[in-house]
C-alpha cells in the first residue's frame, strides 16, 4: 500500500526548485560576464602582461678593469671565482635540508651557517626573488660536488663571478683598496630610477683606494640578453639546449684599466728597505707630484677583505693597537720634528730676521722669559749660521729665529707649502694636519697664544702636525723651488685594448716665491746634512749622486729628567724617526719621505731606507734607459769630503733627540750660559 501523504511528501518543494535553478544560472552568468570582461574586453592588456612575463633581461656582467703600475705590471686583476647563490623564494626546506647539505660540502662552521640563515630570514617580499651570496670562491672540487647534488639543492645556483685578486697582498692595500657587497642604501642612491640599473643586489663595489675612487672607470657597463624565463627566473631552453626565442641583447662593455704612476720594482724595494713596525715611505717625483712608491705599514690584506670577511676578523683589525686599517701616509698626522726646520728657516729668511750669513751662538739651549728651551746637543753647537743650523739641526738657532719673528710668518710659509690642509692624493682619506698660528692658539689653547708656542713650532713640536704626504709635497717644493704640487698616483685610464682614455697631467697647487739665494741656502743646508761631516744623515751619503735631506726625531712622550735609550722605553712612547729628502740635489727628480713610527732617530732609523730607495731608483733608471736605448746621463756625484774620513765607529751623525718645551720649575731658572742671545 502506498500512503498518499508520503508520496506527495516533496511535491510542495517543486516551485522553489525553479527559484534555486534561476539562482544557479544567474550565478554562472555572473561568472560568464566576468570572464567576458577579462578575456575579451581586457584581452590586449592581459596578453601584453603575459608576454612581458615570458621575457626577462638577464644581466651579463662586465669584467672589471685592471690596475697596473707605470710599466704595465698588473697589480690587481679579476680572475673568475665560483660563487654560491641562494634564491630564498625557490629554496624549499632551505634551513632544514639545503643549508645542512651546503654546509657539509663547503665545510662551514657554525658561524658561517648562522650568517647564511640570518640572511635568508632577513629576505622578505620581492627580496626573496633576489639571489643572495652564500659562499664566495669555492674550489673546483667543491663545485663538482655541489653540481652532482644539484637536484637536492633547490634554489642554489653556482655562478662564475669575476673576483678581484690583489697580487701583492697587503702591499699598497690602502692605495688599491678592496671590494665588498653593495649596501641597500648605495643601491637606492646609485640606481636611482634608471631603467637598466647599473648595480644589483649582491654586486661588489670598490671600497677605499683606487677601487673606490675610480669605480666609475673600472666598473664597465653590464650587458643584457633577453631570455625566455619561467616564473622561477630560470632560463628556458629547448630540447637541443638552445635558448628559447632569444631576443635582442647588448654585450657588456669591459671596465677600463687604471694605470698608476707607481713602479712595482721601486715599491718592492721600499717595502723591503723599510725596517719599521709602523710608518710610511713615500717616493714622489719632485717635479710632477706623481707617486713612484708608497708604503703604509701595517696594512691589511685586500684579498681577505674582498668578499666575505668574518665580523670577528673585522673586529680584530679595528681593535689592533697598531691600527692596520689606517692609511699612515695621509690619514694620520705626526709632529714633523726637525724636518720642519726648513719651513722655519725659509720663514725667517723671508721675514728678514736672519740672513744667510747671520749667526747665532748655541750653548745648549735658549731662554725665553723664565723658561729654558733645550737644544738636543746639551753642550751647545757654538757659533751657528743658517746652513750649519740645518746641517747639525741646531734647535737654539731656530728658537731664536722664532723668538724674533713669532709664529705667524712660520705658519704662513707652512700653509703655502701645503701644511694644515689635505694634500688631495684623491684615492684615500686624508687628514689636514695642523699648522698652528696665533689665531689657532687663541682659539684652541687655554690662555691663548704665547711666544713659547712659536719656539716649539719652530722645531716641529708643539701643535704642528703633518702627514708624510704633506711632507713629501713640502720637500718637493723646496727641491723644485716653490712649486707646490698636488700629489697624484693615477697616471692614466686606458681601455682594455690599451687606448688611452684620459691622462692626468701634473697639477700645481700654488707657487711659493723664494729668491735664488734663499733656495740655494736651503739646498746647501740639506746637502750638508747628508754629505758633509757633522751632518745628521751622513751615514746615508751616496757617492754617485747628491742627496739633499733632513732628519727629524719627533718626540711623542714628554722627556723625563734622564734621557732613556729607545730600548728602555715603551713602544708607544718612543720617538718617531723622520727623513725627508730629494735627489739629485742640483736637479731633483725624486723626493722621499720616510716615517718610522716609534722608530727612534731620523738619521739611523729613517734615512737608510730613503738611501736604499734612492739607490734603487737610480739603478732602475739606468737599467731602463739602457733597455730603451736612451742615452744614460749619470747624475753628478757629490763633492768629495775633504776633511777627515768618516769614522764608522764614531757617531758620525749626531742624531738629535727631540727637544720640546721642557718647562723649568718657575723658581729655579736654569742659568743661561754665556753667549745666549
Partner 1 sequence: MMELSGERRSVAQLPWLLLAMTVLTTAVGIYNLASASRPPSAPMWVSQIVYFFIGSAIAVVVAWIDPKLLERLAIPIYLFNLAALIALKFFGHKAKGAESWFVVGPIRVQPAEFMKLGMLLMMAKYFHDDHRPQQPTYGFLRLIPPAVIALVPTALVLVQPDLGTALMMAFTTITVLLFARPSLPVLIVLGVMAVAGAGVLWNDYLRPQYTEERFTIVRHKLKKHQDARITGWLDPTSDLKGSNYHAMQSKIAVGSGGMNGKGWMEGTQTGLRYLPEQHTDFIFSVFAEEQGYLKCLGLMTLYAGLLLAALGVAAGAKDRFGAFVAVGIAAMIFWQVFENIGMVTGLLPITGITLPLLSYGGSSMVSVLIGIGLLVNVSMKRQRSGL
* Burial class of residue 463, CB neighbours in 10 A (0-12, 13-18, 19+): middle
Q: Counting every residue, how long is the chain? A: 677
Out of 4, 31, 194, 562, point to the residue binding partner 1 (CB under 8 A). Answer: 31
Q: Does 24 bind partner 1 (CB under 8 A)?
A: yes
Q: Does 7 bind partner 1 (CB under 8 A)?
A: yes
Residue 663 DSSP class: P
Please report, as residue ranges, which positions from 181 to 240 form the binding site for partner 1 (by CB under 8 A): 228-232, 236
Q: Does 95 bind partner 1 (CB under 8 A)?
A: no
CB of 197 to partner 1, least distance (A): 16
Binding mask 48-87 for partner 1 (x = CB under 8 A): -xxx-xx---------------------------------
Q: Does 629 bind partner 1 (CB under 8 A)?
A: no
Judged by CB under 8 A, the stretch of 17-25, 312-320, 403-411, 644-652 that binds partner 1 is 17-25
Nearer to partner 1, 2 or 505 (CB): 2
CA 343 to chain CA centroid, nearest Å: 28
Residue 203 DSSP class: -
Binding mask 112-131 for partner 1 (x = CB under 8 A): -------------xx-----
Nearer to partner 1, 28 or 557 (CB): 28
Judged by CB under 8 A, the stretch of 39-47, 250-258, 370-378, 631-639 that binds partner 1 is 39-47
Q: Does 515 bind partner 1 (CB under 8 A)?
A: no
CB 282 within 8 A of CB 469: yes
> Nearest-5° angle of CA 260, CA 265, CA 267?
65
Judged by CB under 8 A, the stretch of 41-49, 256-264, 375-383, 642-650 that binds partner 1 is 41-49
Nearer to partner 1, 8 or 248 (CB): 8
CB of 187 to partner 1, least distance (A): 17
CA dihedral over 471, 346, 363, 541, signed as positive or negative:
positive
The 3-state DSSP composition of the chain as helix, strand, coil percent (nearest 5) reads 40, 20, 40
Q: Does 650 bind partner 1 (CB under 8 A)?
A: no
Out of 4, 14, 319, 516, point to the residue binding partner 1 (CB under 8 A). Answer: 14
Out of 4, 10, 505, 649, point to the residue binding partner 1 (CB under 8 A). Answer: 10
Judged by CB under 8 A, the stretch of 12-20, 261-269, 344-352, 421-429 that binds partner 1 is 12-20
Cα separation of 396 and 39, whole Å? 98
CB of 199 to partner 1, least distance (A): 20
Cell of 620: 732602475
Cα separation of 484 and 296, whole Å? 23
Nearer to partner 1, 225 or 607 (CB): 225
* Backbone dihedral angles phi then psi of residue 589, each to the nearest 5 degrees: -110, -40
Cα separation of 177 and 166, whole Å? 9
Judged by CB under 8 A, the stretch of 32-40, 102-110, 617-625, 641-649 that binds partner 1 is 32-40
| Residues sharing a CB contact under 8 Å with residue 80, sequence separation 6 or more, in sequence order | 160, 161, 162, 163
Nearer to partner 1, 38 or 623 (CB): 38
| DSSP, residue by residue, 374-414 | EPSSTT--EEEEHHHHHHHT-HHHHHHHHHHH-SHHHHHHH
Please report, as residue ranges, which positions from 230 to 289 form the binding site for partner 1 (by CB under 8 A): 230-232, 236
Cα separation of 327 and 175, whole Å? 8
> Nearest-5° angle of CA 163, CA 140, CA 81?
5
CB of 165 to partner 1, least distance (A): 38
Q: Does 2 bind partner 1 (CB under 8 A)?
A: yes
* Burial class of residue 39, CB neighbours in 10 A (0-12, 13-18, 19+): exposed
Residues in touch with partner 1 (CB under 8 A): 1-2, 5-7, 9-10, 12-14, 16-17, 20-21, 23-25, 27-28, 30-32, 34-36, 38-40, 42-43, 45-47, 49-51, 53-54, 125-126, 228-232, 236
Amino acid at each position: 500500500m502506498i500512503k498518499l501523504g508520503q508520496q506527495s511528501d516533496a511535491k510542495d518543494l517543486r516551485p522553489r526548485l525553479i527559484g534555486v535553478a534561476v539562482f544557479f544560472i544567474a550565478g554562472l552568468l555572473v561568472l560568464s560576464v566576468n570572464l567576458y570582461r577579462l578575456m575579451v574586453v581586457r584581452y590586449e592588456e592581459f596578453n601584453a602582461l603575459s608576454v612581458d612575463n615570458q621575457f626577462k633581461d638577464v644581466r651579463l656582467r662586465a669584467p672589471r678593469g685592471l690596475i697596473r703600475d707605470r710599466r704595465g705590471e698588473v697589480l690587481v686583476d679579476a680572475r673568475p671565482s665560483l660563487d654560491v647563490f641562494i634564491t630564498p623564494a625557490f629554496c624549499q626546506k632551505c634551513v632544514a635540508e639545503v643549508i645542512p647539505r651546503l654546509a657539509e660540502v663547503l665545510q662551514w662552521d657554525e658561524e658561517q651557517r648562522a650568517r647564511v640563515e640570518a640572511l635568508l630570514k632577513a629576505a622578505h617580499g620581492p627580496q626573496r626573488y633576489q639571489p643572495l651570496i652564500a659562499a664566495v670562491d669555492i674550489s673546483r672540487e667543491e663545485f663538482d660536488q655541489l653540481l652532482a647534488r644539484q637536484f637536492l639543492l633547490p634554489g642554489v645556483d653556482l655562478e662564475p663571478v669575476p673576483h678581484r685578486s690583489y697580487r701583492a697582498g697587503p702591499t699598497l692595500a690602502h692605495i688599491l683598496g678592496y671590494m665588498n657587497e653593495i649596501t641597500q642604501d648605495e643601491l637606492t642612491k646609485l640606481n636611482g630610477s634608471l631603467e637598466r640599473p647599473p648595480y644589483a643586489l649582491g654586486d661588489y663595489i670598490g671600497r677605499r683606494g683606487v677601487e673606490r675612487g675610480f669605480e666609475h672607470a673600472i666598473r664597465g657597463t653590464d650587458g643584457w640578453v633577453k631570455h625566455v624565463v619561467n616564473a622561477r627566473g630560470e632560463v628556458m631552453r629547448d630540447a637541443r639546449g638552445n635558448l628559447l626565442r632569444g631576443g635582442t641583447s647588448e654585450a657588456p662593455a669591459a671596465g677600463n684599466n687604471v694605470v698608476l704612476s707607481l713602479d712595482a720594482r721601486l715599491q718592492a724595494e721600499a717595502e723591503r728597505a723599510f725596517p719599521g713596525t709602523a710608518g710610511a715611505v713615500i717616493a714622489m717625483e719632485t717635479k710632477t707630484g706623481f707617486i713612484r712608491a708608497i708604503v703604509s705599514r701595517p696594512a691589511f690584506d685586500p684579498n681577505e677583505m674582498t668578499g666575505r670577511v668574518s665580523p670577528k676578523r673585522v673586529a680584530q683589525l679595528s681593535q689592533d693597537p697598531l691600527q692596520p686599517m689606517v692609511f699612515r701616509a695621509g690619514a694620520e698626522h705626526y709632529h714633523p720634528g726637525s724636518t720642519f726646520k726648513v719651513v722655519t728657516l725659509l720663514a725667517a729668511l723671508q721675514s728678514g730676521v736672519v740672513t744667510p750669513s747671520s749667526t747665532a751662538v748655541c750653548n745648549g739651549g735658549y731662554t725665553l722669559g723664565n723658561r729654558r728651551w733645550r737644544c738636543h746637543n746639551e753642550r751647545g753647537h757654538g757659533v751657528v749660521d743658517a746652513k750649519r743650523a740645518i746641517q747639525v739641526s741646531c734647535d737654539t738657532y731656530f728658537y731664536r729665529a722664532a723668538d724674533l719673528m713669532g709664529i705667524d710668518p712660520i705658519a704662513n710659509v707652512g700653509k703655502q707649502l701645503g701644511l694644515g690642509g689635505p694634500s688631495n692624493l684623491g684615492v684615500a682619506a686624508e687628514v689636514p694636519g695642523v699648522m698652528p698660528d696665533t689665531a689657532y692658539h687663541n682659539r684652541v689653547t687655554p690662555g691663548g697664544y704665547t711666544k713659547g708656542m712659536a719656539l716649539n713650532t719652530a722645531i716641529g713640536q708643539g701643535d704642528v702636525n703633518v702627514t708624510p704626504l704633506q711632507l713629501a709635497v713640502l720637500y718637493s717644493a723646496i727641491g723644485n723651488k716653490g712649486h707646490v704640487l698636488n700629489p697624484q698616483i693615477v697616471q692614466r685610464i686606458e681601455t682594455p685594448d690599451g687606448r688611452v682614455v684620459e691622462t692626468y697631467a701634473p697639477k700645481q697647487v700654488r707657487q711659493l716665491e723664494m729668491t735664488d739665494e734663499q733656495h740655494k741656502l736651503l739646498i746647501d743646508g740639506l746637502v750638508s746634512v747628508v754629505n758633509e761631516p757633522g751632518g745628521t744623515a751622513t751615514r746615508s751619503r751616496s757617492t754617485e749622486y747628491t742627496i739633499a735631506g733632513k732628519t727629524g726625531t719627533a718626540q711623542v712622550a714628554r722627556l723625563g729628567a734622564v734621557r732613556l735609550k729607545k730600548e728602555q722605553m715603551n713602544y708607544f712612547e718612543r720617538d718617531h724617526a723622520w727623513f725627508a729628502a730629494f735627489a739629485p740635489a742640483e736637479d731633483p727628480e725624486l723626493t722621499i719621505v720616510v716615517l718610522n713610527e716609534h722608530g727612534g732617530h731620523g738619521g739611523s732609523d729613517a734615512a737608510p731606507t730613503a738611501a736604499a730607495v734612492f739607490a734603487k731608483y737610480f739603478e732602475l733608471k739606468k737599467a731602463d734607459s739602457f733597455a730603451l736605448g736612451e742615452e744614460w746621463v749619470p747624475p753628478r756625484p757629490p763633492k768629495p769630503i775633504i776633511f777627515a774620513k768618516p769614522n764608522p765607529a764614531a757617531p758620525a751623525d749626531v742624531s738629535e733627540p727631540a727637544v720640546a718645551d721642557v718647562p723649568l720649575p718657575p723658581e729655579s731658572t736654569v742659568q743661561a750660559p754665556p753667549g745666549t742671545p
